[in-house]
Homo-oligomer: A and B are copies of this chain.
Amino acid sequence: MAKETIAGLAKRLGISKASVSYALNGQPGVSEVTRRRVLDLAEELEWYPSSSARALSRSRSGAVGMVLSADPDLIGTEPYYMGLLAGIETALAEGDMALMLRMVGTDPAQERATYERWAGERKVDGVLMFDHLHEDPRPALLDRLGLPFVLHGAPERHGPAPFSGTTTDHAVDSATIVNHLHLRGHRRIAHVSGPHRFLHEEQRIACVRRRAAAHGMAVVTREGNYALAAGHDAVVSLLGEPVEDAVTAVILGNDLMSMGALLALRELGLRCPEDVAIVSWDDSLHCQLASPSVTALSRNPVMQGRVAAELLLSLLDSGTLQTRAMPASDLVARSSTGS
């Protein structure tokens, strides 16, 4: 059997293609009885309108794009992204939008090339982006390309061109962590952040410093890259030599670095939490299963993904630019801080 088309349905029903189209799309211009007949026949035939024909005549692809840039062999170690993806997809499905996924390496040029191509081909109606960078070229690029986007993890202060995005209150999250450590008696702490090129890492660093200063605590900062080895090496460099005023607690920018920190402490013969406490800025099963289990800030990736996708959907169908603040994260206190 050849594929059924809208013309076929129209002929079977003895009406025009336009009527079928109006009926399918819930447009006025058909009687209720005609609409029902169309819908019933479509269902009976298991017929759906061709997405490409629809995309062409509507000038809308019905899909949203997302590019994940990461080392393919390491992507599996980032459960945060998988959760985000799940939240995004669920929300998009409800809005009847498809998700187009592209994975590229860590070269930022590949991500930009993907956007140029998608815009040129009109392959997607909009884009979801993550991890705002210092002087991020992407918002301007997407504006130039005319591709609507939502930035998950946008800066709280906007530049000249406003855009849609989600924001996180780093001051609150930082306070949650620092207060927790202060309460447990720590006065000298270290903060091993992710790469400085990410705006949110810069903000976290500043907020941790500010909060620690308010408590009269000293804080040492190190830059990591989210890999296990970075957490390990930072701890070795911080605590490898016995010194007078060694830090008694270390905050790490994600769960993997926290695992690395734990390994380093073990190697150095330091006990956790008795000698050194550990806090992870990202919760995961790793934090739960480690021994000692690791106190962690619990973001909610599924919910965050959902919100980001909803912002994009509303941007696409009403053109409203808006930013939405993520709720403060909860600290899950575990053994690594003596809880």
Contact = CB atoms under 8 A, between A and B. Distances in A.
A290 interface: yes
Contact of A72 (B49, B256, B302): B302
Given A72-B87, A100-B98, A51 B46 contact: no
B72 A90 contact: yes
B99 A101 contact: yes
* Copies assembled: 2
A319 interface: no
A176 B79 CA distance: 29
B121 A50 contact: yes
Most buried by B among A77, A86, A90: A86
A67 to B, nearest CB: 10
A159 to B, nearest CB: 24
Given A56-B56, A100-B100, A123 B75 contact: no
A103 interface: yes
A291 B81 CA distance: 26
Contact of A83 (B63, B76, B89, B256): B76
A92 to B, nearest CB: 9
Nearest to A72: B86
Nearest to A80: B76
Interface in A22-47: 46-47
Contact of A76 (B47, B90, B117, B301): B301
A98 B89 contact: no
Interface string A40-79: 0000001111111101100001010000001011011111
A236 to B, nearest CB: 17
A89 B101 contact: yes
A308 interface: no
Interface string A263-285: 10000000000000000000011
Most buried by B among A50, A52, A99, A100: A52
Interface string A150-190: 00000000000000000000000000000000000000000
A70 B87 CA distance: 12
Interface of A: 3, 46-53, 55-56, 61, 63, 70, 72-73, 75-83, 85-87, 89-90, 93, 98-104, 116-117, 120-123, 228, 256, 259, 263, 284-286, 289-291, 301-302
Given A47-B120, A72-B90, A101-B101, 16 more contacts: A3-B122, A48-B120, A49-B121, A51-B121, A72-B302, A75-B83, A75-B85, A75-B86, A76-B79, A76-B86, A78-B82, A86-B103, A98-B102, A98-B123, A259-B289, A289-B289
